[in-house]
Amino acid sequence: MPVYAQDSGYIQTIDADMVGSIARYLGAGRMNDEKELDKAAGIVLNKKIGEKVETGEIVAYIHTNEESKVIGSTKNLEDAFKISKRKITTLPRIIEVM
């Protein structure tokens, strides 16, 4: 199920805690060893912080075997993306070791 950008601009932040919680809710993660993982469930992020996005553009995909979880998960994942009208400057995430 695709998740669409609600505004045009630049990806300012992506709430990693929210993304993780949604993935766990879909069955891709678990809080304890008793629950079985759903190997078909998960989230694919199509955009990174700082990237330009247009309204209606796909920013992520939700994968799940449980159709009842799609609507709420989609809305929550839309909310995890904060979009700014101003260009975002990002620093490299890799630290060079010498």
Looking at residue 63, its amino acid is H
Looking at residue 40, its amino acid is A
Confidence (pTM): 0.82
The domains found in the chain, sorted by start residue, are: 2-84 (3.90.1170.30)
> Per-block average pLDDT, block size 10, for the chain (98 residues)?
96 95 89 80 95 96 91 94 90 71
> Residue 49 — left, alpha, or beta (φ > 0 → left; ψ -120 to 50 → alpha)?
beta
The CA-based angle 54-56-61, given to 5 degrees, is: 110
Q: What is the pLDDT of residue 36?
A: 83
